[in-house]
Structure 1
Amino acid sequence: MRVCFYGTDEEITRICERPILALLGPHRTQRVVAFELLHVSVSADPYAGVYRLRADLAEVHRQEVNE
């Protein structure tokens, strides 16, 4: 799955520093799913001073997290 995150330099740096992201399902009806960022690229919007991080998300299975 390909995703984009928009934010300040500090916010994008925080995302990049984390090897695994956890995403919650809507209204807490789904379990928490862990993802690893792959093929990360960061670009800057020259007009708004906002950065965009594009990456592929690969689901990490519980077994892989525990190792």
Structure 2
Amino acid sequence: MKVCFYGTDEEITRICERPILAVLGRHHAQPVLAFELFNVRVTTDPYQTTFRLVADLSEVRERGERD
């Protein structure tokens, strides 16, 4: 699955520093899911104020196992 994040330099840096993202289920009814980021690419807009991070996500099911 692909994902895009838009944000400032500081926000994008925070995402890049963490190779595993935790996502809460809808309405907190489902357990927390963990995703690994890979194939990360960061670009900037022409005015260099907003950055775009594009990455592939893979669900981490068990220790080191990807979906």
- Structure 2 length-normalised TM: 0.87
Aligned equivalent of 1:35: 35
Q: What percent identity do the matched residue pairs reach? A: 65
> As a proportion of its length, which structure holds more helix?
1
Could you tell me how far 1:64 is from its partner in structure 2?
A: 2.8
The one-letter amino acid of 1:54's match is V
The gaps in structure 2 that reach 5 residues or longer are none
Could you tell me how far 1:55 is from its partner in structure 2?
A: 0.2
Aligned equivalent of 1:55: 55
The one-letter amino acid of 1:63's match is R
SS in 2 for 1:3: strand
The gaps in structure 1 that reach 5 residues or longer are none
RMSD between superposed Cα atoms in Å = 1.6
Q: How many residues align?
A: 65
- Structure 1 length-normalised TM: 0.87
